[in-house]
């Protein structure tokens, strides 16, 4: 008798959710990828599904039949404080009812300002910003739901994303197209401070690994992240690969630039400390426990430049 492989449902079809869906298929899992439209390019082995997971009914429909649910949903910056708690409530309730394990993609926001100290999973949660406090409250609720035995939950925290498909990151749509076309490249804050960036492929590999290993449940893990370098050093990798110097525009304080409009920057201002103090993530715990290794930054930059190069060519 053959058993049908268990369904893995990914909520959110942004760069992380889409990359994760592909990674899960590569690992042999049936995958449902959920967003509000259910549309988008076909991905082999992935069922696209439309549901609004901010509503209890939508979340229940989205996770029906799933053994593992990955929460990779994000919303517009100005909506986060209001909407993310509603999504949490709906998704927690739906996953609990389904008897599914829940893997949550998380941010570094709960730590708040660290004065440049290395962030480990044991770092204190000192967030003082609205979005940081909101994320910390959500995480406390996730871990409480696990402790109370309502369902199994695990959290994977990532630094700023970089990689193919990543547009709205400080190392994304404002940087690579400008670098490739000789336009001014925005550089946020003090680019001579160490700043961790997590490759989107490592976000996916880390979340998929947590999805396959229930022994990791009930805690926070840092997703595999290459050793921090200064943002200037990362931009130097870009310069080496395109064989010309970048024209940098330093954004020393929050103001609109490139794809980040006034509404976004007004909301982002409280998080700008991430560019005025070192942001150093230690992911050695997940690397040791599950044998994962982060993609070297050189490879991450190569893949990202390749993807953006194709994107620009397709638009010409």
Q: How many CA atoms lie within 13 A of 204 on its CB side?
A: 26
Buried/exposed 81-98: b ≥16 CB within 10 Å, e otherwise: beebeebbebbbbbbbeb
24 pLDDT band, cuts 50/70/90, is: very high
In this prediction, residues 56-65 reach a mean pLDDT of 98
Question: pTM above 0.95?
Answer: yes
- Residue 262: its pLDDT value, please? 87
- Residue 3: its pLDDT value, please? 65
DSSP 8-state code for residue 196: -
In this prediction, residues 82-86 reach a mean pLDDT of 96
Q: What is the pLDDT of residues 211-249, one digit of tens each?
A: 999 999 999 999 999 999 999 999 999 999 999 999 999
- How many helices (H) and strands (E) in the chain? 10, 13
The more confident residue out of 134 and 316 is 134
In this prediction, residues 89-112 reach a mean pLDDT of 98
Closest by Cα among 72, 58, 57 to 102: 72
Which helix (H) or strand (E) is 108 found in, with range? none
- Residue 2: its pLDDT value, please? 52
pLDDT at 315 > cutoff 90: no
pLDDT at 168 > cutoff 90: no
Give CA–CA dist 153/104, Å, rounded: 8
Give CA–CA dist 251/274, Å, rounded: 13
- Residue 109: its pLDDT value, please? 97
Give CA–CA dist 169/18, Å, rounded: 16
- The backbone torsions φ and ψ at residue 154, rounded to the nearest 5 degrees and listed phi first, read -140, 145
Closest by Cα among 187, 165, 176, 190 to 273: 190
pLDDT at 267 > cutoff 60: yes
- Residue 290: its pLDDT value, please? 98
- Residue 255: its pLDDT value, please? 87
Closest by Cα among 136, 119, 78 to 265: 78
- Residue 1: its pLDDT value, please? 53
Closest by Cα among 14, 19, 2 to 303: 19
Listed as own residue / partner, the contacts of 42-45 with beta carbons closer than 8 Å and 24 or more positions apart are: 43/18
- Residue 257: its pLDDT value, please? 79
Closest by Cα among 11, 42, 8 to 23: 8
Report the share of the chain in percent with pLDDT over 70.
Answer: 99
- The backbone torsions φ and ψ at residue 7, rounded to the nearest 5 degrees and listed phi first, read -75, 135
Average confidence score pLDDT of the chain: 95
- Residue 265: its pLDDT value, please? 86
276 pLDDT band, cuts 50/70/90, is: very high
Contact criterion met (CB below 8 Å) for 71 and 11: yes
Mutual angle of helices 130-147 and 80-98, in 10-degree steps = 10
pLDDT at 137 > cutoff 80: yes
Give CA–CA dist 188/254, Å, rounded: 8
pLDDT at 19 > cutoff 90: yes
């Amino acid at each position: 008798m053959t058993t049908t492989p268990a369904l893995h449902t990914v909520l959110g079809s942004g760069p992380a959710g889409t990359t994760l869906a592909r990674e899960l298929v590569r690992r042999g899992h049936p995958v449902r990828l959920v967003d509000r439209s259910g549309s988008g390019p076909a991905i082999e082995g992935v069922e696209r599904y439309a549901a609004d997971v901010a509503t209890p009914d939508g979340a229940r429909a989205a996770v029906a039949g799933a053994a593992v649910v990955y929460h990779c949903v994000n919303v517009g910056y100005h909506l986060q404080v209001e909407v993310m708690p509603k999504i949490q409530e709906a998704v927690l309730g739906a996953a609990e009812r389904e008897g599914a394990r829940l893997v949550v993609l998380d941010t570094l926001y709960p730590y708040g300002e660290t004065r440049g100290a290395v962030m480990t999973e044991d770092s204190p949660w000192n967030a003082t910003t609205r979005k940081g406090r909101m994320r910390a409250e959500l995480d406390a609720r996730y871990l409480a739901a696990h402790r109370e035995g309502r369902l199994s939950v695990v959290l994977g925290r990532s630094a700023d994303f970089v990689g193919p498909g990543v547009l709205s990151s400080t190392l994304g749509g404002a940087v690579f197209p400008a670098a490739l076309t000789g336009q001014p490249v925005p550089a946020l804050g003090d680019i001579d401070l160490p700043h961790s960036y997590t490759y989107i492929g490592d976000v996916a590999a880390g979340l998929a690994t947590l999805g396959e290993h229930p022994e990791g449940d009930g805690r926070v893990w840092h997703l595999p992240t290459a050793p921090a370098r200064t943002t200037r050093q990362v931009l130097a990798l870009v310069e080496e690969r395109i064989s010309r110097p970048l024209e940098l525009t330093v954004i020393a304080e929050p103001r609109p630039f490139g794809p980040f409009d006034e509404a976004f920057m007004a909301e982002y201002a409280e998080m700008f400390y991430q560019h005025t103090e070192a942001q150093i993530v230690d992911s050695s715990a997940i690397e040791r426990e599950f044998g994962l290794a982060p993609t070297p930054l050189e490879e991450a930059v190569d893949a990202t430049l390749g993807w953006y190069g194709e994107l620009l060519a397709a638009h010409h």
